[in-house]
Chain A
Amino acid sequence: MTDASDISDDDDRIIAAEYVLGLLPAADRREAEARLNGDPAFRAAVAAWAEDFVAMTDDWPEVVPPAAVWAGIEAKLAEQDGGTGFLSLLRRPKSLRGLFGYAAGGLVAAGLAWVVLNSGVMTPAAPEFQARIAAEDESVVFAAAYDVDTGALEVLQRSGAAAPGRSLEFWLIAEGQAPVSVLVWPNGSERESVVLPADLAARLPNAVLAISDEPEGGSPTGAPTGDVLAVGPVESI
């Protein structure tokens, strides 16, 4: 029996659990998925956690779905057959058909990045970057987390707000570059989410997030005009 206080980051039991829960950032998740293929012990640890966690759903009531759901599935499968008819002419071996299913799955994902792992259960990944944007005296504190899969920067208000008639504006400042406006905080909100354009997201590593005091509705110039109230470095998780 291991002492739980003697915890190691690379304990496979924990990585397997974090993987099943979808808590691993995308890079770690890919690493875990690569191991699923060649590491039977890790694969077994993942399957064991999946069994354990699924027990939480045991008492959830069954609900018969409306008939339209099955009709929709049949229609989608028929559509897929129509689109891939040439494949059946080629009489692909089964493994290649599986591969094709994998590729077609990617097309259907429509914006949601899923990775198909070898067991096909498609585990979600967690955000990869975070920042704590805080004033020196902690009068203004916001937490931000960026999810690589959804491309969204989620920002949570911990403390502080704009002065009456003013707005808080968030800026991403990459090293040696001008601040880029990310978000004007809607007064009264506690939580906001904004999808970052890819070129902006690419600047997250080693960047700084800052909050400035601006006229209501945000800076009129596209650059910070008021005091910088809080800053925080972007850290990879």
Chain B
Amino acid sequence: MSTREEIETLIDGAARKDRAAFAQLYGHTSAKLFGVVLRILKSEAEAEEALQEIYIKVWRNADRYRAGGYSPMTWLITIARNHAIDRLRARRASGAGLDEAHELPDAAPGPEALAMASSDRARILTCFERLPLDRAEAVRRAYIEGETYAELASRFDVPLNTMRTWLRRSLLKLKECLSE
């Protein structure tokens, strides 16, 4: 992985419509973004299509990067995650691929993943561990599967308002833990 400054310089280059900088940005970051999109969409063909659309968005919106206050990889991964979630929700809305998406193995990290965790990841995992298991799972599903309050309420078989209260409390606890 390249340094934060390198990626930032390349995003700035893309903002100036510098194609060479954009090609380099793709070279340095596409494997990470493709990994993220594949993990969310669980379909190679769809992930490839999504990745193209994501980099077109990156090209078009590169001049907005500085306004958000994100670190460069977070900005790129967030665009990729949001785009993949949009696709996933559209797929769920059309009813296609619903069953396969739900039958795939759970995405919870195994012990090896924990051992290799970066400090950021270790921090959020520690804070997740302080939440009741099902609450942590709900937050994780909202982020990684793009599940909505209605879907989470159905999954955990609680009324929607209960789900909302659960999740909000969990988010607040997470934030307090992360700010420690």
A interface list, Cβ under 8 A from B: 1-2, 4-5, 7, 11, 13-14, 17-18, 20-23, 36, 43-44, 46-47, 49-66, 68-70, 72-73, 76-77, 94, 97-98, 101-102, 104-105, 108, 112, 114, 116, 118-124, 126-127, 130, 132, 143, 145, 147, 149-152, 154, 156, 158, 191-193, 195, 237
In angstroms, Cα B60 to Cα A228, docked, is 52
**Residues of chain B within 8 A of A57, CB atoms compared:** 36, 39, 77, 81
B124:A52 contact, CB within 8 angstroms: yes
Judged by a CB distance under 8 angstroms, whether B85 is at the interface is yes
Interface string of B18-36 (1 = CB under 8 A from A): 0100010010001110111
CB pair B146–A22 under 8 Å, yes or no, is yes
Number of interface residues of B (CB under 8 A): 87
Known contacts: A4-B169, A13-B172. The answer to whether A63 contacts B64 by CB under 8 A is no
- Taking each of B92, B143, B154, B176, which has the highest tally of chain A beta carbons within 10 Å of its own beta carbon? B143
Q: Which one of B63, B73, B139 lies within 8 Å of A54 (CB-CB)?
A: B73
Residues of B within 8 A of A17 (CB): 171, 174-175
Partner of A55, one of B67, B123, B142: B123
Q: Does B43 contact A (CB under 8 A)?
A: no
Instruction: Using A23-B149, A118-B67 as known contacts, list a sample of 8 further A-B pairs with CB atoms less than 8 Å apart, ordered by residue number in A.
Output: A1-B176, A54-B78, A56-B140, A58-B121, A118-B64, A119-B75, A150-B93, A152-B93
Q: Is the CB of B150 within 8 A of A22?
A: no
User: Is B153 a contact of A143 with CB atoms below 8 Å?
Assistant: yes
The list of the 6 closest CB pairs from A to B, nearest first, reads A119-B68, A120-B61, A152-B93, A120-B64, A145-B150, A101-B60
Can you list 18 A-B contacts (CB < 8 A)? A7-B169, A23-B167, A53-B124, A56-B140, A57-B36, A63-B38, A76-B52, A77-B59, A101-B60, A101-B63, A108-B53, A112-B87, A119-B68, A122-B82, A124-B89, A130-B160, A192-B95, A237-B150
Q: Which B residues touch A124, using CB under 8 A?
A: 82, 85-86, 89, 146
Q: Name the distance in Å between A235's Cβ and chain B's nearest Cβ.
A: 9
Q: How many Å lie between the Cα of A72 and that of B49 in the bound state?
A: 9
With both beta carbons as reference points, the residue of chain A lying nearest to B48 in the complex is identified as: A69
A residues within 8 A CB of B2?
none
Residues 62-106 of B, flagged 1 when their CB comes within 8 A of A and 0 if not, give 111101111101110111011101110110111100100000000
Asked whether, in the complex, the Cβ of A119 is within 8 Å of the Cβ of B150, the reply is no
- Asked if A193 contacts B165 (CB within 8 A), the reply is no
Given contacts A23-B142, A23-B148, A156-B154, contact A4 B176 (CB under 8 A): yes
Pair A152/B142 contact, Cβ less than 8 Å:
no
Report chain A residues within 8 Å CB of B51.
65, 69
Residues in chain A near residue B60, CB distance under 8 A: 101-102, 104-105, 120
Q: How far is the CA of A94 from the CA of B1 in the complex (A)?
A: 30
Nearest B-chain residue to A147, judged by Cβ: B93
Check A105–B57 contact: CB distance below 8 A: yes
Contact A44 B178 (CB under 8 A): no
Cβ–Cβ contact B56 & A77, under 8 A: yes
Contact A50 B48 (CB under 8 A): no
Contact A13 B171 (CB under 8 A): yes
What are the interface flags for B112-126 relative to A under an 8 Å C-beta threshold, 1 for contact and 0 otherwise?
A: 010011101101100
User: How many angstroms between the C-alpha atoms of A231 and B150 in the bound complex?
Assistant: 18
Docked-complex contact A50 and B120, CB < 8 angstroms: no
Q: How far is the CA of A121 from the CA of B56 in the complex (A)?
A: 12
Residues of A within 8 A of B52 (CB): 69, 72-73, 76
Q: Please judge, given known A-B contacts A116-B61, A124-B82, whether A97 and B17 are in contact too, CB under 8 Å.
A: yes
